[in-house]
Amino acid sequence: MDITGLSLTTITLFIPMIGLFILLFMNGETQKDNIKWVAFGTSIVAFLASVLMWINFDPGTAELQMAQRNTWAEVSLGASVINISYFVGVDGISLLLVLLTTFIMPIAILGSFGSNIFEERGREKLYYIFMMLLEWSMIGVFVVHDLIIFYVFWEVTLVPMYFLIGIWGAEDRIYAAVKFFLYTMAGSILMLIAILYVGNTSGTFSTYSAGGDVGVIEMVQTYEGDGAYWDPVDGGEAAAEDAGFSLGSVESFLFLGFLVAFAIKVPIFPFHSWLPDAHVQAPTAGSVILAGVLLKMGTYGIVRFNLTLFPEASVAWAPTIAFLGVVGIIYGAWVSYGQNNVKKLVAYSSVSHLGFVVLGIFALNSQGLQGATLQMVNHGISTGGLFLIVGMLYERWHTKEMADYGGIWKVMPAFGAISLIISLSSMGLPGLNGFIGEFTILLGSLGSDYLTFAFTLFGTLGVIMAAVYLLKMFQHVFMGEHDNPLKDESGYKLRWNEIAAFIPILIMVFWIGIQPIVFFNMLDISVDNIVALFVP
């Protein structure tokens, strides 16, 4: 099968790049009004392209679809030559996350229209250039299947996000931006060593097989020697073969090399300390993208690389990582409840929600993984929406303290209703999207061969706690007396772009909640393909 031709995936991937170049050659002063429209238009085109991918997508096969693979460079390592290839393509999991990315981006851009960060800090053109760069690199992370190119996209996402937080953030933005940069880089750079080891051992950086070249995943799966693929045992002694997996083995270290990078990004407890700072200081659109897409890169990476490349290590580490996930669920919820800062509350709720995703992944069964993937999307939509709400409140009242709010519902009833729906979706009310994801994950962890009942029990506790802190927020902000009225009465009206940003979010909240089968169908075969590794 020749897959060197231009594919739809490539087109989708490079649409933001085209937008970036158009923006680069526009004048930041004279064409100020057009800049945001170019950025918004580009993100809409990218969204349409990804919808086209969805239409072309055949959910009945586990193969990579709309794939393209071109040799990019040849690295000589000793006697062997290793190809680095531009290798893109989607399966159900990738496609869903690409859709999430292209869905969130226009919303984030719409949410920044007319924002007062540009009055304070200016540089609107640079802002949208970074948005385009961010979209390009995030889509890249979700579609590439070559480890080196994956690493390139992975690291590149750092740069625009660093600037978005650093230039347009709140008071402590420099601290938050530098912390974000160093923290994530420290994690991911160890992954580089693990990637180099993988390439060196298997002779290729491509994970999937394509065009006659065998990928790493297939090598791992079809390995028939003694010991694990990464830890071959010389001599083939029966004793060594039966020795099983040891936590000090090479595979275990490689697994951890990848996992630390992803765990920091997710973030899995105890690697979460950069997240509240970054979220609180980031501008609204930055928070929306951070929560909506960037964190999903971590969980996606675990599914895509940790599980498939190191199946034995995944099994061995599953209870530990799932335990950290559950700790994250409860810890995140607990800390979230204690916050007075509304943005911090939502930030910690991310730690809690992503704990569910981690729990679902390491259930290592079909329900768990499907639920986890869907929950990534749900969290992106709900928490993205919550950050939009917080951003709109901040634009009007210039405070993030919950005590300064109250009775917003009385003055902005429509906004209150929207916020209620999104909060309910985030806490997992049946009929809305959050419920589907969390329920499936808990189902998965209950049926898991590798996790005990206690994981499910404590996980379920998290659902209740989510209701507690989100209702606390809702009560303090929207209920009660409105004793902090705006000087400028026009602020009580929602602007057109704010309404436009909420509409797609609400549609998705109900659509996933009522008809999840559409999305599960997309994931079914792709997830089974991975889960097949873990059937005991």
Partner 1 sequence: MFEAPTIAEFLAHSNLASTAPATLLALWTLLLVLVDLFLPEDRQGWTPVLACVGLGISFILNLFVYSPAASEQVALYGMFVADAFTGFLNVVILVATLIAVLMSWDYLNRADIHRGEFYILALLSSAGAMFMVGANDLIVVFVALELLSIPLYILAAFRSIKNDGSDLALKSEESGMKYFILGAFSSAFLVFGSALVYGATGSTNIPEIFALAGSIVGTTSSAMFYLLIGAAMLFVGLGFKVAVVPFHMWTPDVYEGAPTPVTAFMSVTAKIGGFAAMLRILVTGLSVLVLAEGQPATWQATVSIVAILTLVLGNFVAISQRNLKRMLAYSSIAHAGYILVAVAAAGTANVVDAATQSALVYMLAYMFTNLGAFAVVMAIEKEDGSGGNIEDITGLARSRPLMAMAMTIFMLSLTGIPLTAGFIGKFMVFASAVQAGLFGLAIIGVLTSVVSAFYYIRVVVNMYLRDSSGELQPALETRYVRWAIHIALAGTMIFGIFYPLATNLVSGVSIV
Where on the chain is the footprint of partner 1 (CB under 8 A)? 72-79, 84, 148, 151-153, 155-156, 158-159, 162-163, 166-167, 173-174, 177-178, 181-182, 185-186, 189-190, 192-193, 196-197, 199-200
CA distances from 411 to 394, 414, 496, 501 (A): 16, 9, 17, 20
Q: Quick one: how far is CA 110 from the chain centroid?
A: 20
Q: Which helix (H) or strand (E) holds 76?
A: strand 65-77
**Shortest approach of partner 1 to residue 156 CB, angstroms?**
6
**Shortest approach of partner 1 to residue 284 CB, angstroms?**
18
**Shortest approach of partner 1 to residue 30 CB, angstroms?**
16
Q: What are phi and psi for residue 28, nearest 5 degrees?
A: -65, -20
**Shortest approach of partner 1 to residue 153 CB, angstroms?**
8
Rank residues 245 and 253 by Cβ distance to partner 1 and give the closer one. 253
**Shortest approach of partner 1 to residue 193 CB, angstroms?**
5
Rank residues 263 and 389 by Cβ distance to partner 1 and give the closer one. 263
Q: How many residues does the chain have?
A: 536
Q: Which of 87, 210, 218 is nearest to 143 (CA)?
A: 87
Rank residues 174 and 532 by Cβ distance to partner 1 and give the closer one. 174
Buried b (16+ CB within 10 A) or exposed e, 339-375: bebbbbbbbbbbbbbbbbbbbbbbbbbbbbbbbbbbb
Q: Which residue has the tokens 């491509």?
A: 206
CA distances from 73 to 61, 76, 86, 189, 194 (A): 30, 10, 9, 21, 20
Q: Is 448 left (phi over 0), alpha (psi -120 to 50) or beta?
A: beta
d(C-alpha 314, C-alpha 322), whole Å: 11
Cβ distance 176 to 163 under 8 Å?
A: no
**Shortest approach of partner 1 to residue 74 CB, angstroms?**
7
**Shortest approach of partner 1 to residue 400 CB, angstroms?**
21
* DSSP 8-state class, residue 415: H
* DSSP 8-state class, residue 305: I
Helix (H, G, I), strand (E, B) or coil at 59: coil
**Shortest approach of partner 1 to residue 66 CB, angstroms?**
24
d(C-alpha 185, C-alpha 300), whole Å: 18
**Shortest approach of partner 1 to residue 388 CB, angstroms?**
25
Cβ distance 160 to 300 under 8 Å?
A: no
Rank residues 164 and 427 by Cβ distance to partner 1 and give the closer one. 164
Rank residues 151 and 305 by Cβ distance to partner 1 and give the closer one. 151
Rank residues 72 and 118 by Cβ distance to partner 1 and give the closer one. 72
